[in-house]
Amino acid sequence: MPVKVLIVDDSGFFRHRISDLLSGDSRIEVVGSAQNGREAIEQAKRLRPDLITMDVEMPQMNGIEAVRVIMRECPTNILMLSSLTHEGAQVTLQALEAGALDYLSKDMRAWMEHSSSLEKQLRDKVVELGRSRHAKRSSLFSAPDSSASSKSMVFRPEAESPAAKPAPRPIAGIKEKAPVRPRPESPALHRAHSEPSKPAAPLARKPAAGRKTIPMDCKLVVIGSSTGGPAALQQILTQLPANFPYPILLVQHMPKTFTSVFAARLDQQCNISVKEAEDGDRLQPGRALLAPGGHQMIIDPRTHDKVKIMPGDERLTYKPSVDISYASAAKSFGKKVLAIILTGMGADGCDGAKMLRQQGATIWAQNKESSTIYGMPQAVVNAGLADEILDLTEFGPLLSNHRAR
């Protein structure tokens, strides 16, 4: 059965361009289009598509408001189209918060140049997300209370809400934690692997060793994620205490403008400190460094207590790459690493996990049931590299209940 798609955009050019790109794929069927949020809601209820491509800025009702209504009245997987600007990043993360699963950049030049790379990226995202079993589920991010303002609580400017962000504090200090409500799984971002990974073992293969504890001599936690990662990371990191005993490296497939906004968002919500990594940043307990989009993050091989940020190599699909950060952690800390691989398309992280396994590191993978897209964790599991296969709800408590020895 082809994936049924509803296209929503106020631009006639983009509606036709998206339709042309998708119609050439036998796995996809375009079942309708809409010019604004209100039409999108009506068409979603009438056509019951597997996936909706949703523009952000539209007349009558914008994309974010339309996503909120659709997720409340007829939950459907939604792929946002967004500009690669700071404002676009903020709005896109609000859309993910409202219930969208993922996004794709809306760069007019790329869309007009008939890019084969863009065409493949769009088609692969549509098929993967349209077939996702999370299609009829609500957002992983907590939806706003009906009594709350429709404005994003995450991106409210300081001048408008001076209490939203606590005063600067030591890494180990406590800062107020934003309310965190239970949530299922949702979206986020970047290019899918060009080809599906070939399983190295049956899907049901058991974990390699069964180590549901952090290594006794752990020195570093490294977490890799892609589609569905922003919400999964939010769920895990908001459960950690400010005095979490290890430094954390985060590698999420995102472009540059998005990682800075996402890091600031997490820093507001978490007790630990979260920042977009800069060259020379030190590894510190209770601090998470997020790899900047378009770059690679490794551990300084000379000192092992700092990160190095390097330009992204155009020959590499992922910038940042989980494989590269995992490999660097394996070289610098060996068995003293806890590596976590979360939801995402493709197989990034599997090669790096092999290097970690050779050094005796501990590897935890997210399970299929709680993954938005079971690609990256599946590659690690199928290769027999996972010590534990865990539900998303298990990571936070396991990490937060641990105390350094």
> Which residues does the annotation mark as catalytic?
226, 253, 348
Phi-psi region of 360 (alpha: psi -120 to 50; beta: other; left: phi over 0): left
Rounded to whole angstroms, the Cα distance separating 64 from 92 reads 8
Say if residue 320 is preceded by a cis peptide, omega within 30 of 0: yes
Rounded to whole angstroms, the Cα distance separating 306 from 329 reads 12
Nearest CA among 172, 206, 228 for reference residue 371: 228
* Tokens linked to 28: 């996809």
Rounded to whole angstroms, the Cα distance separating 384 from 404 reads 28
Residues 6+ apart with CB under 8 A from 60: 36, 37, 38
Rounded to whole angstroms, the Cα distance separating 219 from 47 reads 52
> What is 313-363 written as a DSSP string?
PTT-S-SS-HHHHHHHHHHHHGGGEEEEE-SBSS-TTHHHHHHHHHTT-EE
Q: Does residue 256 sit in helix, strand or coil?
A: helix
Q: Supply φ then ψ for residue 102, to 5 degrees.
A: -160, 180
Phi-psi region of 304 (alpha: psi -120 to 50; beta: other; left: phi over 0): left
Number of helices (H) and strands (E) in the chain: give both, helices first: 12, 14
Q: How many CB atoms lie within 10 A of CB 200?
A: 13
